[in-house]
Amino acid sequence: MKALAAMLLLGCAACAGSTPLERLIEGVAVAPPEIAADILVRVVEKRLIREPKAAKGLLEQAWHLAGQARLPMPRRTLPLNVKPGSPVAGGMPGIPSLDTLTLRARALKQMHELDRAEALEWLRGMATPVPEALECGSAWVWDPGPWFEMVGALGTLEDRLRAVQDVTRPEQLAPALELVLGYQGTGEERAMLAGRWAGSLEGVRGDSVAFEATRELPVRMAVVAEKLRAEGQSAAFLADAWRMYLLTHWRGEVCQQYASEANRQTWRLRTDSVYNKRLREAAASDAPEINFEEKAKPARIIPFEPRRDEEMRTRFEEWSALVGSVARVVPALGQEASPGEVRQAVLDLLEQIEAWNEPVEGVSGEQWLQLRVMAVNPLLMQVDGETRRDVLRWRLRLLRDSELQRTAPEAWLVTWRQVLPAAPAELVREAGSPLMDLMLLAHEILGWQ
């Protein structure tokens, strides 16, 4: 990494011997691979490297690091009207996901600006990402969208054909369909893409959770059908393919929460309005309407009951009471309290919160760090001086000691970004964390929040 840093400095947009950038590039060795890749890509995105050869070297390193990310692709939440009972993956709006696909898509975009042929070679060297099956309790599904976006941005017709033909999972259907809709070639070529995609749709099998996330797919299918017919092509096969896909899944194994009457009613209404009417009409299909109540009967309902015992309910109530007391601790001391008494009360409260190592009901381990750190926000508005610094040190110590640095770097980074604005640089360095020192340097050079 040092040799790479030295080479990159030759192309630095700043003055020669710019040590902060060199330290940043060398320092990524202490970071989890996804954070390291993110930093390296950001250096190129910020145009801090002038020489194309040096920038390409940085992107190659980021590409390989991205392949070691814990998450293979992004995750997105399920429709809000269905609540399986499990926590949703954390994240912050506007911050790119630190998974293999998203990181590589960003690196590929930069490489495309430098060397289109090499970018295309990278793309074609990747296998079509196949999401793993999900259990009934999952509140999210995998999103392979970045892969299909890369194909759409860089690939030829042949690349698109391969991508839509390789679809085997429900999560791949929507982004693959966008390759059909967004194609800029002839009507005949679009029809070929649509035909391959429809063939994949008929054969797609997946778990009940992933299937649930495709409910609105016929809306986009209708748009494709209208475009095909406007170009003089047949589109009836799209309605036929959706009919087979829907009935195959609803006649198979369905998770208990999705087999509920409320969810079936939602599907019943959407099937009537989106398939029976919109899609069949747009595709000029003579396929029969789907009588959902009669035709969509699960062969087996997979039992699922979210865990909720008395102990879990009690812990949640105790945690809620503790968090609710945070804003009252300092005012309860009264105006006569000495600075020492206020400080001791705050330290006692921090000790109580720190003792809650295990998450409460409905909260994932990834979210728990963030909730504990943010629970003390009221204190930052009530105390100052050394007591306030105690609170900031406590937050930084939780970050420093958190296993999420290794097990879920993206979730750790979400909390870091929320802690950093209030934390003076000297307190960050005082914490003695190589990773936090690196992130502070990245903030100074790349403008991170």
Strand pairing report for 140-142 and 75-77: antiparallel
Cα 438 from Cα 443, distance rounded (Å): 9
- The single residue listed with the structure tokens 């299937």 is 211
Element (H, E) at 241: helix 236-250
H helices of 251-374, in order, are: 261-270, 280-282, 292-295, 310-333, 339-354, 365-374
pLDDT of residue 305: 75
pLDDT of residue 310: 57
Q: What is the DSSP string of 69-84?
A: -S-SS-EEEPPTT---
Residue 258 contacts residue 82 (beta carbons within 8 Å): yes
To the nearest 10°, report the CA torsion of 44, 411, 320, 336: -50
What does pTM read for this prediction?
0.88
pLDDT of residue 308: 59
Indicate the SS3 state at residue 91.
coil
pLDDT of residue 14: 43
pLDDT of residue 28: 97
Cα 229 from Cα 218, distance rounded (Å): 16
Q: Kindly report, residue by residue over 344-365, the tens digit of the pLDDT.
A: 999 999 999 999 999 998 888 8
- Return per-residue pLDDT of the chain as tens, 449 residues: 555 554 444 444 443 446 899 999 999 999 999 999 999 999 999 999 999 999 999 999 999 999 999 999 999 988 643 443 333 444 445 567 999 999 999 999 999 999 999 999 999 999 999 999 999 989 899 999 999 999 999 999 999 999 999 999 999 999 999 999 999 999 999 999 999 999 999 999 999 999 999 999 999 999 999 999 999 999 999 999 999 999 999 999 999 999 999 999 999 999 999 999 999 999 999 999 999 989 999 999 999 876 655 556 788 899 999 999 999 999 999 989 999 999 999 999 999 999 999 999 888 888 999 999 999 999 999 999 999 999 999 999 999 999 999 999 999 999 999 999 999 999 999 999 999 999 999 999 998 64
Q: Kindly report, residue by residue over 166-192, the tens digit of the pLDDT.
A: 999 999 999 999 999 999 999 999 999
pLDDT of residue 88: 41
Residue 42 contacts residue 413 (beta carbons within 8 Å): no
pLDDT of residue 447: 86
